[in-house]
A = this chain, B = another copy of it.
Amino acid sequence: MSAEDRATPGDASTLRIGEVAKATGLTTRTLRYWEQLGLLAPNGHRESGERLYTSAAIERVGRIRELQDLLGFSLAEVKVVLDAEDELERIRSDMRSHTEPGERRKLLVELIATNDKLLGRLDDTLGRIQTFRDERAVKGKRMRKALRELDAEHSATTG
């Protein structure tokens, strides 16, 4: 019967959904929801229907959180990025497969465009946050100066 299972169920590196949840700090609900959105699929299922993951899922969760929290992407946007990454991985591991060179080239060009677009977006965001940061730094200096003046005034009064 173990031959029926897809995800090497006896394997020590096989994780149940609760284990992935615990390892990532997410809830099982979130993991199922993300699966529903096509962000994170289990490696396979047992006959009972139980989801089985590998440790790669944990890394993928980290990637998703990075995009979600760090860059403020919606899960739909995250999916676009991850799909591109997956596509790239597929192409790279599939490089000498039976796929036609023309087709492969087309995919690559598409990926490069996607990547460049993302890079542009990142640079834009970086620039704007940098500007904002610098403004803040200037304000901080002004505030410290005001504080020093206040203290000098006080010591002049009391001294």
Q: A18 at interface (Cβ–Cβ under 8 A)?
A: no
Contact B129 A70 (CB under 8 A): yes
Q: Does A153 reach chain B (CB closer than 8 Å)? A: yes
Number of chain A residues whose Cβ lies closer than 8 Å to a Cβ of chain B? 41
What 0/1 pattern do residues 100 to 131 of A give for CB contact below 8 A with B?
01001100110110011011001101101110
Q: Which one of B95, B101, B143, B153 lies within 8 Å of A108 (CB-CB)?
A: B143
A88 touches B122 (CB 8 A): no
Contact at B92–A129, with CB atoms within 8 Å?
Answer: no
- By secondary structure, the A interface counts as helix
The oligomer's copy count stands at 2
Q: CB distance B101 to A143 under 8 Å?
A: no
Q: Within 8 Å of chain B (Cβ to Cβ): is A66? A: yes
Asked whether, in the complex, the Cβ of A122 is within 8 Å of the Cβ of B112, the reply is no
Is A80 close to B, CB under 8 A? no
Instruction: A69-B72, A112-B140, A119-B136 are known; give 7 further A-B pairs, CB within 8 A.
Output: A66-B132, A71-B129, A88-B143, A116-B140, A122-B129, A126-B130, A129-B129
